[in-house]
């Protein structure tokens, strides 16, 4: 009987015609087996439910409702459908799973536990939501092997899933050969009502439909309950109709609680639709099994309480003690470890054959997915001298991107409908589109938030792809939630943010960033870089490429800037460095500190003040985070503690600059919103001028 | 002939059956008039086009494409449909218009100019996008009378329009009486492909459909062009289907360029549908009239150039010099000043009659829309003593909200599906819903970004409504773009942001704000308030209510906090103040500075250090912005320059604190992401403890 089930399942996972329904209905003689099979499946599903219930109960914190409602689809996915290798969670060709409704993470921990992942042992389940555990309150890829992305903030997970599916489609188109599908996996996602309400999910799903991501299969946990109660109070749209409008295939599983065959059939149907992503709306009962709390808000985000746990045990016929996995369930799931090893071995064999036939492609592919880069890639970065033509750093950025794309096969990306302003087109490539997925220019449309989260997904696909994305710097406000997740989940996304100050001019204050540099300098694990010319832009790209575990934000100018003497890539790598100096023994009379487009002002002011016999040092502070990481000796060599005469100049908020200029120093910046006028006028009116720097300096000399 | 047109129009604006199409087709005898009428209308439309072309050309900066394509619908709206009073742009009962595609602002400036608004004279058109002009690069309500909201960042305008329509529906339900529709206006909006792609527009439109905002009529400028080229490259969804899914009535005007009657009929149909908002998809040609640039990206965001301007003049038969408004067009539009005055006078008369019949309602209504508050409203704020029970500031916030809602008829708002966590329900009111629009609890669903922009719309409705909205503090990242516009456009929205630190505990780093306090302290014109107990929470609300021209962000704790001695509403109003002190003559040995939940830690540490014979001052720095605004004398009295022994404690990024503690001081905070564990554990592990404050202090004493 168990054998029957396992054979069926193995067929399924082997991607041969999938037939459990056929088995179930084929012949009366099999009825006993089938009944037992269903009983075992339900036992497995209840195991998932109770692991979630018990862990939340022990922590007295967490969200039991979703795991209880989604256990059936979770079981079917991890036990019957998905291809993965528990002992190598990073096997390249695994199916990806994203729990966009991340608060239900006990579902995923329970599944990883049953499937045999070493990251979620019984003791990990018992330390759910505790300090140092591998089972934090929301799924975190950097804490738990087997978790693909970091979710919790709603709507972002489905966008991550779009990024994962994009990566698969792109790499498959670039590297697969007939008979050698070395890139071939599905991306599954569970999202809830909350995810559906968030704008980012609509943005991402519009793109998924546009791109025809046929191997993206999303389960919409349609349980009609959100935190504030019945979704009737705020969410009465027709999700089905909307997704049809977005170009998705839509299936409705009306009984997600016990309609296992319905769920299976839906997945089969979804896989058969190859040119569209599929949304499977699965109507479930939140907190299924809890006699008094199911189908209510109260089961969403709190422990059931001892009494209701008992009642649920009673109701579902669950006689076991907390955290118990019955032997037959354990035994049933035990095949995933050997099966997973086989799946990976098969793929390795296929890859070896591929390598024999397609040597060059295989070499590039293997290097790419290993995360290595061709030797000497950084030599492709352009170099500039003071004689090189003045240019906007957004244009210099384009030179870097195009130079790097030639040597880095993993570099791909694009803009949120501002490619011609952000200067982000890779000229030697076409557009990544439904029918040209091998191309590397991604057109995100005006969808900044989804863009960021899709790039997180691409980065966390773990296949060596280096995603960049672009918009005006001020519109980081639209994607800040995704950027924060980049920083948290260690996704080395490169954010190419142009028009980085009032220097953009006439578009006015809605388009002029003021507080944005400060706001990213305050964010953990993200590099805020503001290069001032060509060499610094090249340096910023070197840093951004090398930092695969933290995102980089490049703030770039719209306006032309001169190529300065003394700027270097090496300097940028240290975050702050001396651009010019006429002092002796590390004792300048004055230190002028600039970033980006205002570095030029600092340089010019220094030249004037030096003529008056003063020793003036100019420091470029292109990245505060990198500078902070340097040794105390290095920092002292750039900004000696004994020199308090310091003036900073930056066309942005002065917030935070006290740290650099000290209590006695002065900061020239803008602590109000900008205005609509030509850039030159704005610099003058807001006092971001050489004269003001000189005047400020003189009060300190 | 002109008379015929005017009569027709006056009928329309008088809201009697609108019949220009009937007139047009009624009888052969009217053909001449009709032809001339159409000719005049086209002349008016071309006037709008050329005012936009000329202004952009003179500025050599701007976006001519949208005004050229949308001039027909713009003309019909402002000349035939909308009810407004040019000489009183703030007349309460005016129809509202929002240009969500704000880059096309020359359309609106041209219309305001023709309609007779004093804010946009010929010289203003000629100084488009120049320093100090009334015609900035995007529409800014705080610069230009007649502009309702500030747009440019895409997608937000339609959400503002939803807020304006919500305000109308709410006030109409509260104050209108049979025969006395003192609140009765439409909200019109033009949005483009860019707005449609942004997630916020889907969020806002989902709510508009849910709420059945029948008097919201949005024109979707369907021109198939966005900055990166044809929308085919990134935007192929069916917008019509999506909006049907969102519960909107959808109409398609296939010929938006010359199909004037189609546009008129669509508006008529939209008005007839009273239980749903209407999307009129108007297919237009961007840059209509430009022979070489129409229907291309090149006309979107740059001046046409002298040669193409000439070619367009030729093509549209426009012999006039730049900025010329032909006399017949001028004369045609001239009626709007007297008509507008009449419309307002009629409304005033209606209001006077209403006042006679419904004295109490009228008194409240008039006071409300005048922006005044009942005398002594602030006395409703609760007061606390150290003996009052410890409580989370989110709960104390709910006490304030409920106390204020009783005395402030304009207070309304809600949460993004976290009402029971944010504690924002007004207990004496029901939900604002389609059929109960008079209620004051707004259920935004999980749609933070739309929530912020809808609240901006409510605030800028200018009817005395005071909107508040709520989510977890970390999710300000989802709505930051809207919050920045609150700050810029002077909308006094109250942001009730709970779970404001690692103190939220187990939900982990995705939910724990770190850099958020700093990120708002760096933003211009927004008040970041972090109260530490009941009195401070009351003070924060007093400040938030009084600041009608800048938004307030209240960071509130999830966890219980004691009521502290020495906290006061008056202190909060000064931003920073002394909570306790045992020093003499403003010369403490040490100043401990805390905010919010960490103020308690500072107080406790001070008590310990005082026992060792030191003079210790504890300062609550609840709002840096308010403290900055105090006199130098006051600031010196709180933080005397001579005292450099300063320690700050705040469970967030230390970024920016050097300004307060100085180069010699110490800041205790968290400069990494949080973690998932019980709150007490996190405080200990991250070192936000009394012991650490004491240890830091001792290094300075």
Nearest by CB to residue B138, choosing from A235, A507, A662, is A507
pLDDT reported for residue B31 = 54
Q: Are A501 and A516 in contact (CB under 8 A)?
A: no
pLDDT reported for residue A29 = 44
Tell me how far apart the alpha carbons of residues B381 and B38 are, in angstroms, rounded to a whole number.
61
A346-381: buried (b, 16+ CB within 10 Å) or exposed (e) per residue? Answer: ebeebbeebbeebeebbebbbebbeeebeeebbebb
The CB density around residue A664, as the number of other CB atoms within 10 Å, is 11
Tell me how far apart the alpha carbons of residues B66 and B139 are, in angstroms, rounded to a whole number.
14
State whether A242 and B238 contact (CB < 8 Å): no
Question: B-chain residues within 8 Å CB-CB of A244?
Answer: 238, 241, 245
Nearest by CB to residue B511, choosing from A152, A445, A522, is A152
Query: Pick the catalytic residue: B203, B448, B598, B625?
Result: B448
pLDDT over 70 (residue B5): no
Tell me the pLDDT band of A304, cut-offs 50, 70 and 90.
very high
Tell me how far apart the alpha carbons of residues A553 and A561 are, in angstroms, rounded to a whole number.
19
pLDDT reported for residue A32 = 55
Q: How far is CA B72 from CA B251, B284, B285, in A?
A: 17, 10, 11
Beta bridge partners, B279, equal B218, B250
Q: Are A267 and B272 in contact (CB under 8 A)?
A: no
pLDDT over 60 (residue B674): yes
Task: Kindly state the average pLDDT of the residues A543-563.
Answer: 98
Task: Kindly state the average pLDDT of the residues B2-11.
Answer: 36
State whether B137 and A507 contact (CB < 8 Å): yes
Tell me how far apart the alpha carbons of residues A78 and A116 are, in angstroms, rounded to a whole number.
11
Q: How far is CA B659 from CA B71, B526, B602, in A?
A: 51, 18, 18
Question: How many CB pairs lie under 8 A apart between chains A and B?
Answer: 362
Residue A393: CA count within 13 A, CB half-sphere: 32
Q: Confirm or deny that A223 is annotated as ligand binding.
A: yes
Tell me the pLDDT band of A31, cut-offs 50, 70 and 90.
low
Q: pLDDT (tens digit, 9 = 90+) per residue, B302-352?
A: 999 999 999 999 999 999 999 999 999 999 999 999 999 999 999 999 999
Tell me how far apart the alpha carbons of residues B550 and A95 are, in angstroms, rounded to a whole number.
49
Q: Confirm or deny that A86 is annotated as ligand binding.
A: no
Q: Confirm or deny that A103 is annotated as ligand binding.
A: yes
State whether A672 and B525 contact (CB < 8 Å): yes
Tell me how far apart the alpha carbons of residues B523 and A515 are, in angstroms, rounded to a whole number.
5
pLDDT reported for residue B202 = 98
Query: What are the DSSP calls for B284-350, one per residue?
Result: --TTTT-TTTTTSGGGTSS---HHHHHHHHHHHT--PPTT---HHHHHHHTTHHHHHHHHHHHHHHH
Tell me how far apart the alpha carbons of residues A567 and A532 are, in angstroms, rounded to a whole number.
8
Instruction: At A255, list the tokens.
Output: 């009984």
Token pair 């990166």: residue:
B228
Closest residue by Cα to residue B54 from B304, B328, B311, B319: B304
Q: Which residue of B has its CA nearest to A198?
A: B447
Tell me how far apart the alpha carbons of residues A378 and A302 are, in angstroms, rounded to a whole number.
51
Instruction: At B535, list the tokens.
Output: 């009195």
Tell me how far apart the alpha carbons of residues A521 and B448 are, in angstroms, rounded to a whole number.
24
Closest residue by Cα to residue A569 from A601, A531, A517: A531
Q: pLDDT (tens digit, 9 = 90+) per residue, B82-101?
A: 999 999 999 999 999 999 99
Tell me how far apart the alpha carbons of residues B519 and A70 are, in angstroms, rounded to a whole number.
38
Residue from B157, B417, B553, B661 to probe the interface with A (highest A Cβ count within 10 Å): B417
Task: Kindly state the average pLDDT of the residues A547-560.
Answer: 98
pLDDT over 70 (residue A20): no
Q: How far is A570 from chain B (nearest CA, A)?
A: 26
Measured distance between the N- and C-terminal CA atoms of chain A, rounded to whole angstroms: 89
pLDDT over 80 (residue A460): yes
pLDDT reported for residue B35 = 77
Rg (CA), chain A: 28
Q: Confirm or deny that B324 is annotated as ligand binding.
A: no
Nearest by CB to residue A137, choosing from B242, B419, B508, is B508
Name the percent of chain A lying above pLDDT 90: 94
Q: pLDDT (tens digit, 9 = 90+) per residue, A428-455?
A: 999 999 999 999 999 999 999 999 999 9
Query: Pick the catalytic residue: A57, A339, A344, A448?
Result: A448
CA torsion through residues A170, A176, A182, A184, sign? positive
pLDDT over 80 (residue A26): no
pLDDT reported for residue A35 = 77
pLDDT reported for residue B2 = 34
Residues whose CB falls within 8 Å of the CB of residue A93, separated by 6 or more in sequence, listed in order = A83, A182, A183, A184, A185, A344, A347
Q: pLDDT (tens digit, 9 = 90+) per residue, A198-235?
A: 999 999 999 999 999 999 999 999 999 988 889 999 99
pLDDT reported for residue B17 = 33
The CB density around residue B91, as the number of other CB atoms within 10 Å, is 19
pLDDT reported for residue B226 = 87
pLDDT over 90 (residue A462): yes
Q: pLDDT (tens digit, 9 = 90+) per residue, B524-540?
A: 999 999 999 999 999 99
Closest residue by Cα to residue B576 from B555, B599, B610: B599
The β-bridge relationship of strands A216-222 and A278-283 is: parallel
Closest residue by Cα to residue A195 from B238, B474, B445: B445
The β-bridge relationship of strands A229-230 and A225-226 is: antiparallel
Q: How far is B342 from chain A (nearest CA, A)?
A: 36
- Determine whether B448 is an active site residue: yes
pTM: predicted TM-score of the whole model, two decimal places: 0.96
Beta-strand runs (E) in B223-260:
225-226, 229-230, 249-253
- A241: enclosing H helix or E strand: helix A239-245
Q: Are A517 and A507 in contact (CB under 8 A)?
A: no
pLDDT over 90 (residue B365): yes
CA torsion through residues A326, A331, A333, A337, sign? positive
- Full set of structural domains in chain B with CATH: 29-340 (3.40.50.970), 377-555 (3.40.50.970), 572-699 (3.40.50.920)
Maximum CA extent, chain A: 102
Total residues belonging to chain B: 701
Tell me how far apart the alpha carbons of residues A290 and B648 are, in angstroms, rounded to a whole number.
48
Tell me how far apart the alpha carbons of residues A485 and A492 are, in angstroms, rounded to a whole number.
11
Instruction: Choose the weakest-confidence range: A26-30, A542-546, B218-222.
Output: A26-30
Q: Confirm or deny that B499 is annotated as ligand binding.
A: yes
State whether B228 and A417 contact (CB < 8 Å): yes
pLDDT over 50 (residue B603): yes
pLDDT reported for residue A149 = 98
- CB burial of residue A701 (10 Å; 0-12, 13-18, 19+): exposed
pLDDT over 70 (residue A11): no
What ipTM goes with this model?
Answer: 0.95
Total residues belonging to chain A: 701
Tell me how far apart the alpha carbons of residues B543 and B626 are, in angstroms, rounded to a whole number.
9
Tell me how far apart the alpha carbons of residues B216 and B185 are, in angstroms, rounded to a whole number.
9
pLDDT reported for residue B8 = 37
Closest residue by Cα to residue A79 from A330, A278, A306, A373: A330
Tell me the pLDDT band of B602, cut-offs 50, 70 and 90.
very high
pLDDT over 80 (residue A150): yes
Q: pLDDT (tens digit, 9 = 90+) per residue, A361-402?
A: 999 999 999 999 999 999 999 999 999 999 999 999 999 999
Q: pLDDT (tens digit, 9 = 90+) per residue, B542-600?
A: 999 999 999 999 999 999 999 999 999 999 999 999 999 999 999 999 999 999 999 99
Tell me how far apart the alpha carbons of residues A348 and A338 are, in angstroms, rounded to a whole number.
15
Q: Are B636 and B619 in contact (CB under 8 A)?
A: no
State whether B210 and A236 contact (CB < 8 Å): yes
Nearest by CB to residue A59, choosing from B506, B518, B662, is B506
Residues whose CB falls within 8 Å of the CB of residue A508, separated by 6 or more in sequence, listed in order = A674, A675, A676, B129, B136, B137, B138, B140, B152
State whether B656 and A653 contact (CB < 8 Å): no
Q: Which residue of A has its CA nearest to B442?
A: A234
Task: Kindly state the average pLDDT of the residues A264-287.
Answer: 98
């Amino acid at each position: 009987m168990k054998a029957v089930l396992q054979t069926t399942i193995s067929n399924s996972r082997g991607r041969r015609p999938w037939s459990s329904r056929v088995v179930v209905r084929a012949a009366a003689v099999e009825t006993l087996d089938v009944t037992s099979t269903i009983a075992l499946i339900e036992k497995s599903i209840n195991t998932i439910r109770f692991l979630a219930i018990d862990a939340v109960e022990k922590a007295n914190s967490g969200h039991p409702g979703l795991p209880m409602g989604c256990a059936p689809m979770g079981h079917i996915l991890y036990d019957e459908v998905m291809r993965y290798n528990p002992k190598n969670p990073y096997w390249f060709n695994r199916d990806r799973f994203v729990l966009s409704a991340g608060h239900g993470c006990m579902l995923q921990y329970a599944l990883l536990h049953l499937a045999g992942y070493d990251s979620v042992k019984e003791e990990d389940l018992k330390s759910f939501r505790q300090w140092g555990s591998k089972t934090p309150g929301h799924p975190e890829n950097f804490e738990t092997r087997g978790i693909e992305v970091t979710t919790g903030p709603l709507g972002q997970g489905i966008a991550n899933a779009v990024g994962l599916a994009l990566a698969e489609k792109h790499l498959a188109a670039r590297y697969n050969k007939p008979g050698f599908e070395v890139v071939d996996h599905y991306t599954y996602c569970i999202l809830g009502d909350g995810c559906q309400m968030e704008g980012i999910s609509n943005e991402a799903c519009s793109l998924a439909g546009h791109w025809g991501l046929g191997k993206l299969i999303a389960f919409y946990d349609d349980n009609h309950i959100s935190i504030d109660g019945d979704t009737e109070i705020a969410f009465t749209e027709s999700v089905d109709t909307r997704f049809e409008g977005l170009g998705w295939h839509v299936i409705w599983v009306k009984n997600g609680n016990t309609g296992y065959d319905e769920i299976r059939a839906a997945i089969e149907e979804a896989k058969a639709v190859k040119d569209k992503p599929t949304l499977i709306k699965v109507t479930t009962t939140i907190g299924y099994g809890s006699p008094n709390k199911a189908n209510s808000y109260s089961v969403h985000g709190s422990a059931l309480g001892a009494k209701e746990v008992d009642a649920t045990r009673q109701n579902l016929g669950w006689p076991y003690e907390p955290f118990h996995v019955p032997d037959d369930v354990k035994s049933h799931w035990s095949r995933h470890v050997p099966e997973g090893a086989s799946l990976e071995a098969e793929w390795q064999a296929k890859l070896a054959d591929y390598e024999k036939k397609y040597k060059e492609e295989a070499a590039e592919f293997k290097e790419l997915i290993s995360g290595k880069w061709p030797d000497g890639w950084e030599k492709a970065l352009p170099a500039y001298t003071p004689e090189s033509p003045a240019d906007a750093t957004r244009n210099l950025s384009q030179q870097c991107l195009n130079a790097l794309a030639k040597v880095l096969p993993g570099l791909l990306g694009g803009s949120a409908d501002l490619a011609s302003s952000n200067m982000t087109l890779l000229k030697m490539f076409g557009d990544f589109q439904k029918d040209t997925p091998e191309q590397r220019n991604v057109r995100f449309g005006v969808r900044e938030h989804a863009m960021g989260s899709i790039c997180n997904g691409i980065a966390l696909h773990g296949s060596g792809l280096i995603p960049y994305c672009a918009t005006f710097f001020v519109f980081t406000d639209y994607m800040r939630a995704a950027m924060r997740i980049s920083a948290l989940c260690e996704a080395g996304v490169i954010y190419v943010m142009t028009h980085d100050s009032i220097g953009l001019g006439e578009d006015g204050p809605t388009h002029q960033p003021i507080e944005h540099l400060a706001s990213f300098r305050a964010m953990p694990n993200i590099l805020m870089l503001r290069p001032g010319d060509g060499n610094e832009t090249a340096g910023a790209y070197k840093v951004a490429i090398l930092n695969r575990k933290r995102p980089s934000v490049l703030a770039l100018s719209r306006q032309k800037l001169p190529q300065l003497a003394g700027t270097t890539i090496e300097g940028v790598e240290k975050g702050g460095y001396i651009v010019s100096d006429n002092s002796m023994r590390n004792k300048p009379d004055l230190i002028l500190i600039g970033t980006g487009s205002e570095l030029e002002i600092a340089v010019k002011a220094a030249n004037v003040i030096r003529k008056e016999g003063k020793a003036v040092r100019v420091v470029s502070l292109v990245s505060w985070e990198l500078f902070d990481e340097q040794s105390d000796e290095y920092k002292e060599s750039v900004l000696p503690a004994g020199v308090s005469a310091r003036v900073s100049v930056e066309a942005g908020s002065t917030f935070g600059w006290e740290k650099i200029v000290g209590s006695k120093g002065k900061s020239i910046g803008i602590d109000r919103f900008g205005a609509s006028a030509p850039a030159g006028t704005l610099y003058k009116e807001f006092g971001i001028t050489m004269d003001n720097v000189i005047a400020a300096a003189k009060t300190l000399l």
